[in-house]
Structure 1
Amino acid sequence: MFFVSDIMEKVPDSYKSPLQEMVYESLTKLQISFKRVTTDEAISMEDCTWINQKLDMKMVKTLLLCNSKKTKFYLFITTADKPFKSKDFSNALDISRVSFAPAELMESILGVKIGAATVFGVLIDKENLVQVVFDRDVLLEEWYGCSDGTTTGYMKVKTKLIVNNFLTYAKHIPTEIGI
C-alpha cells in the first residue's frame, strides 16, 4: 500500500531541496495557508490517487515543455485525467510544436526531477525563461493539489491564491487556454 502521512499545516522541520525550502518560505511570507502530506515516492498520476483521497482534492498534472531548439519553455498545468496532445497545446498558443523538456533542463530551470514538476519551480526561474500556462479546467477547481518540489511532499492550496498571489510574487503571469 502507498504511504500517505496524516495531514499537516506547518512547514517541514527540515528540507530535502533548496526549492522545497523556497516553497515554504514563500507561502509563509505570503500568508498562504496549505495542508500537506508526506508520502512514499510518487512518480505517476496513479500514485497521486492516494494523495487526492487524503487531502480531498485533485492533483494537477504539471509538464515542462519546450520548442525543438530548447529556447522556449512552457510549464503546462492541466488536470490529471487529460491526455497531453502537443498539437492542441501548440494550436491554442499559436506556437510551433512542443515536446517534453529533457530531465536535465527541468532540473536546471525548475530545480526538480521528473515526477516533482510543480508551479513552485518558477521560484528558481529568475530569468523568466518559462511561460506558465493553465488549462482552464484547473482554474475552475477550488483547490490546487501539487508537489512541494519533491516526490515525497504534496499539498493543497486555494487555486486562486496560487494564480493571483503566488505567481504575481514569483513574477510569472500565467496564460489560460482551453483544450
Structure 2
Amino acid sequence: MFYVSEIQTTAPVVYKTPLQKSVYETLEWLQIPFERVDTDEAVTMEDCASINRKLQMDMVKTLFLCNRQQTSFYLFVTKGDKAFRSGAFSKALEIARVSFAPAESLLEMLGTKVGAATVFSALLDRQNHVQLVFDREVADAAWYGCSDGTTTGYMKIQTADIMKKFLPFVNHAAIVIEV
C-alpha cells in the first residue's frame, strides 16, 4: 500500500534537497500557507491519486520540455489526468514542436530529478532560461497541488498565491494557454 502521511502545515524537519529547503523558506518568507504530506516515492498516477484523496485536490502534471536544438526550455503545468499533445502545446505558443528535455538538463537547470519537476524550480532559474507555461484549467483552479522538489513530498497551495505572490517573487511570468 502506498504511504501518505497525515497532513502537516509546517516544513519538514530535515530537507532532502537544497531546492526543497529553498521552497519552504520562500513560502515562509512570502507568508504563503500550505498543507503537505510525506509519501513513498510517487511514480505513477495511482500514487498521485492517493495524495489527491488525502489533500482533497488534484496534483498538477509538470513537464520539462525543449525545442530540438535544446536552446528553448519550457516548464508546462497541466492537469494530472490530461494527456500531453506536443502539437497542441506548440500551436498554442506558436513555436516549433517540442519534446521532453533530457533528464540531465532538468537536474542541472531546475534542481530536480524526473518525477519531481515543480513550479518551485523557478527559485533556481535566476536567469529566466525556462519559460513557465500554465494550462488555463490549472491557472483557474482554486487549489494547486505539486511536488516540493522531491518525489516524496507533496503540497496543496492556493493557486492565486502561486500566480500572484510566488511567480512575481521569482521574477517569472507565466504564459497561460488553452490546450
Whether TM-score is above 0.5 comes out as: yes
Q: C-alpha offsets along residues 40-59 of structure 1, whole Å, 9 cap, x if unaligned? A: 00022221000000000000
1:169 aligns with 2:158: no
1:90, distance to aligned residue in structure 2 (A):
0.2
Structure 2 Cα separation of the partners of residues 35 and 81 of structure 1: 22
Structure 1 Cα separation of the partners of residues 161 and 122 of structure 2: 15
Structure 1 Cα separation of the partners of residues 14 and 159 of structure 2: 26
Q: C-alpha offsets along residues 6-36 of structure 1, whole Å, 9 cap, x if unaligned? A: 0000011110000000000000000000000
Matches within 5 A, 1:84-123: 84-123=84-123
Structure 1 Cα separation of the partners of residues 148 and 95 of structure 2: 30
Structure 2 residue matching 1:47: 3-state secondary structure? helix
* Residue matched to 2:58: 58
Structure 1 residue matching 2:64: 3-state secondary structure? strand
State the AA in 2 paired with 1:102.
P
1:139, distance to aligned residue in structure 2 (A):
1.5
Structure 1 Cα separation of the partners of residues 75 and 22 of structure 2: 18
Q: How many residues align?
A: 179
TM-score normalized with structure 2 length: 0.99
| Contiguous gaps of at least 5 residues in structure 1 | none
Structure 1 Cα separation of the partners of residues 22 and 167 of structure 2: 14
Matches within 5 A, 1:22-101: 22-101=22-101
Structure 2 Cα separation of the partners of residues 122 and 102 of structure 1: 18
* Residue matched to 1:149: 149
Structure 2 Cα separation of the partners of residues 137 and 44 of structure 1: 22
Structure 1 Cα separation of the partners of residues 132 and 94 of structure 2: 15
Structure 1 residue matching 2:145: 3-state secondary structure? strand
CA contact (8 A) 1:44 1:115 kept: no
| Contiguous gaps of at least 5 residues in structure 2 | none
Q: C-alpha offsets along residues 100-139 of structure 1, whole Å, 9 cap, x if unaligned? A: 0010000001100010000001111111000000000002
State the AA in 1 paired with 2:88.
D
Cα RMSD between the aligned structures?
0.6
Structure 2 residue matching 1:162: 3-state secondary structure? helix
Structure 1 residue matching 2:150: 3-state secondary structure? coil
